[in-house]
Amino acid sequence: MSSTPIDEVVSNIPGGEETPHEYGIETLAVHAGARPDPVTGARSTPIFQTTSFVFDDADHAASLFNLQTFGYVYSRMTNPTVAVLEERVAALEGGRGAVACASGHAAQFLVAATLMQQGDEFISSRNLYGGSVTQFGVSFPKLGWKCHFVDPTDPENFRKAMTDKVKFIFLEGLANPGGIIVDLEKVAAIAHEFGIPLVVDNTLASPYLCRPFEWGADLVLHSTTKFIGGHGNTMGGIVVESGKFDWRQNDKFPGLGQPDPAYHGLVFAETFGDFGFTMKVRAVALRDYGPTLNPTAAWNLLQGVETLPLRMERHCSNALAVAEWLQDHPKVKWVSYSGLKSSPYYELAQKYTPKGAGAVFTFGVKGGYDSGLAVVDEVNMFSHLANIGDTRSLILHPASTTHRQLTEEQQIGAGAGPDVVRLSVGIENVNDIIADLDQALAKA
């Protein structure tokens, strides 16, 4: 073990030293990016509840605004508390840099706004959270961005949808509302064949279960509202860059590979190298569109990150036990959970999420739409709400809530058909979870 203090060793700030010892994810979840406060000695990261930061002098201010010096200017773009969260999640994912923001939807917008111009296109898996389908299919076209939705169960569908205007491929590795795992390695190869990045929403898996960069992904994003925070109390999002994608290999990304008029002709990919995308997101998209994560929210999320490995272990063991119990229940028609050996995605789960298949999955109740609603209405311990990744067990009928805005065909395609009930299995005693479902199914 190196004698270097761990709070220096595991730093992941752009420009920092390489880690001399490869710490485990459990250690990184507690220590990465954090140092004792140099003024007070406080060990827990302080909440820097301030809008602005004092400059040393006029030259220091100018160098900060010209991106010639790293530092804090204004909390819309940079804040010390938020920076710890960014460094920590980047370390957990094995990335080069990260930008935190106000929500998972904001993270998706920042990626799109940085990679695309009017008239550009991207390809997305159709198996997404319903709000993402609407964002991509309804709101993004108003900005001149077109999305091609494809069935992700066959990676070749991404190749078939490719056009000269496509700037990236987007998918959820472990799909919401549940059960589907996409073959990341194959889709990444297709994206790179066409000189574009693969963007992976890793919200459901978390970096504890899957690190998409190890399978060829170039950008990873999270709704930190979910498993990263883990307690259902704080909204947030984050974008992480692998540092391995060459943004100047072609002319598809002028915002990164050509002079930027907002910074006197600075070329982000050239000036900042393997964290050029991160700097572009922060200095332009976050600055101009403003979906800032406030420091108190960042502090709340940091408390959740520290227990991520412990929570995910319990989430996964509970979810598997519940899924196994449900598949034998006489009122249950089917269960879609990749941790079950009966799942068509079981082998992919063993490859990409060997520690567990996550906590979110779906099942179908005999009787269809009305029976699904009845189960949701009859639970006692489960909370009926539109969230996942809480310590508490959560239940939802997607067709009547999160995917309500979609057509029935879109709902079925996204895995949220009329009979579908979605569970986000919490960390309570698993026998209590099963007992609550049992009595609800009996009444339904």
Give the per-residue pLDDT at 418: 81
Q: What residues have CB less than 8 Å from 328, skipping those under 6 apart?
A: none
Asked if 181 and 209 count as a contact pair (C-beta separation under 8 A), the reply is: no
Amino acid letter for position 268: F
Using one digit for the tens of pLDDT, what is the confidence trace for 326-339?
Answer: 999 999 999 999 99
Pick the CATH number of 307-443 from 3.30.160.250, 3.90.1150.10, 3.40.50.300, 2.60.120.10: 3.90.1150.10
pTM of this prediction?
0.92
Q: What is the mean pLDDT of the chain?
A: 92
Across 338-347, average pLDDT: 96
First to last CA, the chain: 57
Q: Which residue blocks in 163-294 are alpha helix, DSSP H?
A: 184-193, 206-209, 254-257, 268-272, 276-280, 287-289
Give the per-residue pLDDT at 178: 67
Using one digit for the tens of pLDDT, what is the confidence trace for 395-431?
Answer: 998 877 766 777 777 777 667 778 889 999 999 999 9
**CA separation (Å) from 383 to 307, 361, 433, 436?**
22, 15, 11, 11
The Cα 124–Cα 407 span in angstroms is 18
Give the per-residue pLDDT at 55: 94
- The architecture in CATH of the region 6-303 reads 3-Layer(aba) Sandwich (3.40)
- Domain ranges in the chain are 6-303, 307-443
Residue 423 forms beta bridges with which residues? 361, 395
The Cα 365–Cα 329 span in angstroms is 10
Count other C-beta atoms under 10 Å from residue 95's C-beta: 29
